[in-house]
């Protein structure tokens, strides 16, 4: 019952055509944490492009850098630099594969580090948000 209600709400917002390629769950706290995490708009865009491939928590995903670049309208090199930056920020993990292996040389990405950081920091952001809201109401 809840699943049908949630689906109906999504269809009300985006229409069936808007959802024909699926949808991706995004924790709102990521948006509130982006400055604290040091994310640029390009970093966030690459993360969103990775998230559309991440269906199961334990899975590593392997979208092509060319596809991400095409969707974003940037060069593959921009995507590569951004992925390197996200690794340096310890928000994603990358495992390189062999060209003649199962994944044909594609990188395997894990978003587990980002998930853990959000899980730890989101309650503090929520508390700060509530406090600032209460502070404004008491002025």
CATH for 58: 1.10.10.10
Residues 117-132 have a mean pLDDT of 89
Indicate whether 48 pLDDT > 60: yes
Whether 96 is covered by a domain: the verdict is: yes
Whether 3 is covered by a domain: the verdict is: no
Exposure on the CB side of residue 78, measured as CA atoms within 13 A: 16
Whether 104 is covered by a domain: the verdict is: yes
Whether 5 is covered by a domain: the verdict is: no
* Domain count across the chain: 1
pLDDT bin (cut points 50, 70, 90) of residue 3 is confident
Whether 21 is covered by a domain: the verdict is: no
Please give the residue range of the domain that contains residue 128.
26-137
17-21, 70-74, 114-118, 126-130: least confidently modelled range:
126-130
pLDDT of residue 105: 74
Indicate whether 52 pLDDT > 70: yes
Q: How much is the pTM?
A: 0.85
pLDDT of residue 132: 80
Neighbours of 116 (CB within 10 A): 12
Whether 13 is covered by a domain: the verdict is: no
Whether 20 is covered by a domain: the verdict is: no
Whether 85 is covered by a domain: the verdict is: yes
């Amino acid at each position: 019952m809840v699943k049908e209600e949630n689906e109906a709400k999504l269809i009300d917002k985006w229409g069936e055509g808007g959802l024909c390629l699926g949808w991706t769950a995004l924790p709102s706290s990521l948006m509130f944490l982006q400055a604290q995490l040091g994310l640029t708009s390009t970093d966030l865009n690459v993360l969103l492009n990775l998230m559309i491939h991440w269906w199961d928590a334990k899975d590593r995903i392997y979208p092509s850098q060319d596809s991400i670049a095409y969707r974003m309208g940037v060069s593959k090199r921009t995507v590569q630099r951004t992925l390197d930056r996200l690794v340096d920020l310890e928000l994603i993990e990358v495992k390189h594969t062999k060209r003649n292996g199962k994944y044909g040389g594609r990188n395997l990405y894990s978003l587990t580090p980002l998930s853990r950081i959000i899980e730890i920091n989101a309650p503090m952001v929520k508390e700060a948000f509530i406090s600032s809201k209460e502070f404004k109401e008491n002025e």
